[in-house]
Amino acid sequence: MTSRLRSAISVPALAILLAGSWAATALAQEKVARSFSAGAGMSAVGVLDAPPDTEIEGPQAISSGENGEIYLLDQVNSRVVSFEPDKPEGLTRSLALPAGVQPTDMVVAGGQIYVWDGKPIRLNESGEGATRSLALGGAGGEVDDVARSMFGQMGSPLVEGEPEGPLTRAIGKPGAGKSGPARSSGQQMVATRGKGPVSAAVSVDKTETTATIVVSRRGGGPIGRLTLKVRDRIGTAELLEIDRQGRFFVMAENIAASGGASSFVARFAPSGALEGIHELPINPDVALSRRSVTVNPDGDVFFMRTRKGVVDVIGVGFMAMAKGDLVDLSPRPVDMSAVAPKDPRKQPISAVRPLTRDQVLRTAQAFSEVRWRVTPGAYGQEPDMSCNGFNARVRRPAFMIGKANQEVKGIPYCWGCMGSLPQIASRINGGARAGNVCTRNDPFQGVAGVDCSAFVSATWGLSTHFTTAAIPSITVPVANPWDMKPGDALNKPGSHVMLFVGFTPDRKVEVIEASPGACAGKVCRNVYTLASLLARGYTARRYRALTDEVAMLPGGGRAGRPGKAPSPDRDR
């Protein structure tokens, strides 16, 4: 390394220049703290292997407790499991979720378990032994603004009943450009173990290579200033934890114009000096989850790796760095020329109507915001039919369980189903059952809803269903993922597809998707980090028939901010 490069780095500054090979990271060793097979027993968690056109569904969140224990949200089995990572053969606890709670995210803070089910809910443990229950805490399980902010950190964007509200955590102003993320990333609040509740203000410079994070005590003055620099373009940069030694942990990502991406957790000394990094082992074999990394009170970093039939909780290796040294990483490449598997149904493109980006977003939001009453016919028989090979799984989407004759929001996920909003409404009104998350079986007959690719096909005005494998045949790649525009898609052939809405103020991607796990079995909005998608094999795609004007969300807001929900009748 030249002296000129060294002198350009000031401490406390994190300079991560991503231009070399991955060889240097071989020094960072991984350790499997606990491995879970697929199932419902004490040494297992719910993992549903994916047939073509679906994503593997496993635990959606990992979080660390006050004493270093690890919690996993095993929503497939309607429970939370916990264990001590330093005791490989130790006891696993099972904490049953309250009836009617169907969460898609979880955080543990201040000794409390919080889950997200359209809104944040606080839960209390009850009982003794390895098998316990969780009950609503306090008067309905209210939470404070710190816990609410922590949910927004990993993508629980909206509070039920507040469709016009801002992203839970991203309170910065969006950028003025027509595409790309905002330069100002906003502010977050974190319940840390070392310093208690803190706020972290994140800003990105004009070059979009450098982020500055100013950490302050809640209601007090700054306690740390961290500077992070990447070679290409910064994605998200956010504070995860301050451990009991006073060290800062920042999750960050570098995203190249080619679509290559890398994710890591940087560790800073209490003085703000860089100590080293933890590289997150994300690749296309790792299933997508809402919250996959956590830091315990002692500063150990854990990553939840969900693959076919197994979930590993990995202690992520640490690579120490000398004062002023540079990290030599390069973004994992994405092959944009890869040819998707051929779809056996060579169907022509058949648009229902002329298509604009505004129409795409209006249709997508109508799918996610429409409210409807679950009639006895739509609810179906009780008990519901079980899926083959997994007794705990039922046909009925989680968000509908226990909601017979009640109003719900969002079109249900339905494996192998397709249709426009009027068509789905007509089928349900005609007595069809609503939704099917039993993806291990062949699609059922007489069921209404949409799966992930049918949803995107409908938003693009297509009267036929193009699968994730067929979507590349009607789209062109967006070579630079930062150039995505509202109405584009993030597609992983043979797995899953999401509709891109916009970049959030904290430089994540907001999507609308149909998902049995991440959306509790319906169409919903979600937020993910861009690198976590790219590293898992998702690529940005643009529908060929889509006009290229700047899209505005219903209600007049520029894409990237939630807008007013459209009237379902108007959009039908």
What contacts 24+ positions apart, CB below 8 Å, involve 195-202?
Answer: 195/223, 195/242, 195/246, 197/146, 198/223, 198/239, 198/242, 200/238, 200/239, 202/172, 202/237, 202/238, 202/506
CATH number of 16-166+182-218+227-328: 2.120.10
Give the angle subtended at the CA of 286 by the CAs of 507 and 519, to the nearest 5°: 60
Q: Which two tokens stand for residue 473?
A: 């045949």
8 Å CB contact between 238 and 506 = yes
Instruction: Encode the chain (572 residues) as per-residue pLDDT tens digits.
Output: 333 322 222 333 333 443 333 333 434 578 999 999 999 888 899 988 777 788 888 999 999 999 999 999 999 999 999 999 988 778 899 999 998 899 999 999 888 899 998 888 999 988 887 888 899 886 545 677 777 787 876 555 443 433 333 333 332 333 333 456 666 556 888 999 999 999 999 999 998 988 899 999 988 899 999 988 888 899 999 999 999 999 999 999 989 888 888 899 999 999 998 888 899 999 999 999 989 999 999 999 999 999 988 999 999 999 887 655 544 455 555 444 443 444 444 444 444 454 789 999 999 999 999 999 999 999 998 878 777 666 556 889 999 999 999 999 999 999 999 999 999 999 999 999 999 998 878 888 899 999 999 999 999 999 889 999 999 999 999 999 999 999 999 999 999 999 999 998 889 999 999 999 899 999 999 999 999 999 999 999 999 988 665 444 443 334 433 333 333 232 32
State how far Cα 248 lies from the chain centre.
23
H or E segment to which residue 7 belongs: helix 3-7
H helical segments located in 249-373 = 357-369
Whole-number pLDDT of residue 420: 93
Predicted structure pTM score: 0.83
Whole-number pLDDT of residue 29: 74
- Provide the residue ranges of all domains of the chain, joining segments of one domain with +: 16-166+182-218+227-328, 357-571
Taking every pair of Cα atoms in the chain, the longest distance, rounded to a whole number of angstroms, is 75
* Burial of 221 per CB tally in 10 Å (0-12, 13-18, 19+): exposed
8 Å CB contact between 242 and 536 = no
The label of the residue with tokens 């209006």 reads 362
The dihedral region occupied by 39, where left means phi > 0, alpha psi between -120 and 50, and beta the remainder, is left
User: Residue type for 314, please?
Assistant: I
**From CA 91, how far away is CA 249, in angstroms rounded?**
29
Whole-number pLDDT of residue 229: 83
Whole-number pLDDT of residue 340: 42
Whole-number pLDDT of residue 461: 92
End-to-end alpha-carbon separation of the chain, Å? 62
The label of the residue with tokens 């699609």 reads 443
Whole-number pLDDT of residue 367: 96
Question: What are residue 486's DSSP bridge partners?
Answer: none
Question: What are residue 303's DSSP bridge partners?
Answer: 293, 314
